[in-house]
Structure 1
């Protein structure tokens, strides 16, 4: 198991179906997650919607 220390960048390969599932789960954080997780979930979902970035 890897130990991730923020801030860090991680590259993960996902299928389209897996990505869609993650996006849906992040959307549900607003209704079912802790208030502290709302903004990070929105930011991560926006990053996933934007697609890959050039480094």
Structure 2
């Protein structure tokens, strides 16, 4: 497991299938995840939908 030591901007190349998988996982955060993660998941999903 990775240990995050700081934050910043990261460029990552993903295939369309990988992005679709991430989108599906993010949609599961609200029904099954912690309430504290809902807003962040929604924001990230909105960013991915714009791509």
- Give every structure 1 segment of 4 or more consecutive aligned residues whose post-TM-superposition deviation is greater than 3 Å: 1-4
Aligned equivalent of 1:9: 9
Question: Measured at CA, do residues 23 and 4 of structure 1 come closer, stay the same or move farther in structure 2, by a change above 3 Å?
Answer: farther
TM-score, with structure 2 as normaliser:
0.85
Tell me the matched-pair count.
50
| Two-structure CA RMSD over aligned residues (Å) | 1.6
User: Which ranges of structure 1 fall in alignment gaps of 5 or more residues?
Assistant: none
Question: Measured at CA, do residues 24 and 5 of structure 1 come closer, stay the same or move farther in structure 2, by a change above 3 Å?
Answer: same
